[in-house]
C-alpha cells in the first residue's frame, strides 16, 4: 500500500509539473521557449546524424517533443510538450503529451523526440488525433555530457522517430500508451 501511494503521488507530481513547466510566462514567451527547445534538439540531432536534416527538410513536416518520465517497478508515467511544424504551410501547432506504461522499470529519464512525417495524411492525423502506442526497452545513465544512453530510431506508420536522452538514470522494458494533443493555451 505504501508503494501504491508513492506511485500515485509521483504520477500526480509529474502530471502537474508539465502544466507548470514554463511558469507564469506570457503566451508569447511560452511559444518562444518551445521553439527554442525545438531548435536546440534539432541542432543536437544534426550533430549526431547529419543526414536527418535533409530528411526533415524534404518531409511534409516534423515534430519535436521534450518529455520527462518516471518508472517505478511496474508502472511508468510521463509528460511533456512540443511543436509540430508543417513544412508546406510553415504553420506551427503547439502540443502537449502524456504517457502511461506498464512493465518492469525503475528510474527517471528526460528525453527529446523528433518525429519526421513522410506524408501529409500522417501529419494531419497526428495533429488531429494524436495517439501513439508503443513498446519500449532502453537503458540510460546520463547527466549532461557525462554517461551514456541507448536511444534510437524507429519508423512506424510513415513516421520516423528519433529519440535523444537528455539526462537521467533508467532501466526499463515497458508497454506504454502515449497521447499527444493540441495545447489549447498556445494555439
Q: Looking at residue 77, what is its pLDDT? A: 84
CA 6 to chain centre: 24
Using CA atoms, how far residue 79 sits from 23, 103, 125, 143, in Å, is 16, 18, 21, 20
The pLDDT of residue 21? 54
CA 135, 45, 125, 100 torsion: positive or negative?
positive
- Whether the pTM exceeds 0.85: the reply is no
178: closest CA among 73, 16, 65?
A: 65
Q: Which stretches of the chain score pLDDT less than 70?
A: 1-23, 69, 71, 73, 104-109, 132-153, 155, 166-176
Query: In degrees rounded to 5, what are phi and psi of residue 89?
Result: -110, -15
What's the pLDDT score for residue 144? Answer: 47
**For residue 169, how many C-alpha atoms fall within 13 Å in the half-sphere facing its CB?**
2
Cell of 118: 513522410
Distances (CA, A) of 30 to 14, 37, 128: 19, 11, 22
Q: What is the pLDDT at residue 99?
A: 83
Amino acid at each position: 500500500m505504501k508503494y501504491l501511494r508513492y506511485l500515485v503521488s509521483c504520477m500526480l507530481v509529474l502530471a502537474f509539473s508539465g502544466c507548470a513547466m514554463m511558469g507564469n510566462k506570457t503566451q508569447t514567451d511560452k511559444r518562444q521557449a518551445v521553439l527554442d527547445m525545438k531548435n536546440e534538439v534539432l541542432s543536437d540531432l544534426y550533430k549526431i546524424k547529419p543526414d536527418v536534416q535533409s530528411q526533415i527538410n524534404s518531409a511534409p513536416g516534423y515534430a519535436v517533443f521534450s518529455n520527462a518520465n518516471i518508472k517505478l517497478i511496474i508502472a511508468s508515467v510521463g509528460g511533456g510538450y512540443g511543436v509540430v511544424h508543417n513544412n508546406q504551410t510553415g504553420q506551427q501547432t503547439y502540443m502537449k503529451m502524456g504517457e502511461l506504461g506498464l512493465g518492469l522499470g525503475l528510474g527517471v529519464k528526460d528525453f527529446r523526440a523528433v518525429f519526421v512525417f513522410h506524408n501529409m495524411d500522417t501529419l494531419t492525423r497526428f495533429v488531429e488525433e494524436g495517439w501513439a502506442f508503443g513498446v519500449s526497452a532502453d537503458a540510460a545513465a546520463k547527466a549532461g555530457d557525462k554517461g551514456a544512453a541507448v536511444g534510437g530510431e524507429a519508423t512506424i506508420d510513415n513516421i520516423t522517430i528519433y529519440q535523444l536522452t537528455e539526462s537521467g538514470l533508467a532501466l526499463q522494458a515497458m508497454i506504454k500508451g502515449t497521447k499527444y494533443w493540441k495545447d489549447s493555451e498556445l494555439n
